[in-house]
């Protein structure tokens, strides 16, 4: 059984992942409007990934006999002037998510709940990737500045991103 404390924290994490999904969808819509379909695609794929993260936690709570409680999702920002701004906001947000994941890990460890610790550990590695990716796009967009050709090329690159089901869901046969 999950402890009540950990169950509550996992439910808060589900809400944070869904808030992330909503944030990236909002970014996607912002750049759809701005005429950058590749950037919009990248954020829409990110939206799906965050939904998958929430689903992994939901599946896990259910597997352990806990109860998933879906709380309201808070409002998200709706406007970013540049792609650089959006990736800076992404990095800042992902750092907060990393801190939440680390807290969950510490909690599971303190409770000697090693099954939870192992599930959370997948997210520890995932967060390294999330932060690294956001940082790499900050660097690229900083480098090109206002160069139209550069923005066009990066839009093409971001447009090539496709959604891959994260391994904890893929192995569950979904
Ligand atoms: Mg996430």
Token pair, residue 27, equals: 């970014």
Residue 81: DSSP 8-state: S
CATH numbers and ranges of domains, the chain: 4-160 (1.20.1260.10)
Average pLDDT, the chain: 96
- Which residues line ion ligand 1, judged by CB < 5 Å? 17, 50, 53
The answer to whether residues 19 and 92 touch, using CB atoms and an 8 Å cutoff, is: no
| Ligand 1 geometric centre to CA of 140 (Å) | 22
What spacing in Å lies between the alpha carbon of 4 and ligand 1's midpoint? 23
> 0.85 exceeded by the pTM?
yes
Place of tokens 């956001």: 134
Q: How far, in Å, from the CA of 49 to the mean position of ligand 1?
A: 7
Q: How far is the CA of 147 from the centre of ligand 1 (A)?
A: 31
Under a CB-based contact definition with an 8 Å cutoff, are residues 47 and 163 in contact?
A: no
Residues 71-101 have pLDDT tens digits of 999 999 999 999 999 999 999 999 999 999 9
């Amino acid at each position: 059984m999950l402890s009540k404390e950990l169950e509550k924290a996992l439910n808060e994490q589900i809400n944070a992942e869904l808030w992330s999904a909503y944030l990236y969808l909002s970014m996607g819509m912002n750049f759809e409007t701005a005429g950058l379909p590749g950037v919009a695609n990248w954020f829409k794929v990110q939206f799906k990934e965050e939904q998958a993260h929430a689903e992994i936690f939901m599946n896990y709570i259910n597997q352990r006999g806990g109860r998933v409680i879906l709380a309201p999702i808070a409002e998200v920002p709706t406007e970013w002037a540049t792609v650089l701004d959006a990736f800076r906001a992404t990095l800042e947000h992902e750092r907060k998510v990393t801190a939440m994941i680390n807290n969950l890990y510490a909690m599971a460890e303190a409770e000697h709940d090693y099954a939870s610790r192992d599930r959370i550990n997948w997210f520890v590695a995932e967060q390294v990737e999330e932060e690294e990716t956001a940082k790499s796009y900050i660097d690229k967009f900083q480098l090109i500045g206002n160069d139209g050709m550069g923005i066009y090329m990066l839009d093409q690159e971001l447009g090539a991103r496709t959604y891959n089901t994260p391994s904890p869901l893929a192995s569950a046969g979904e």
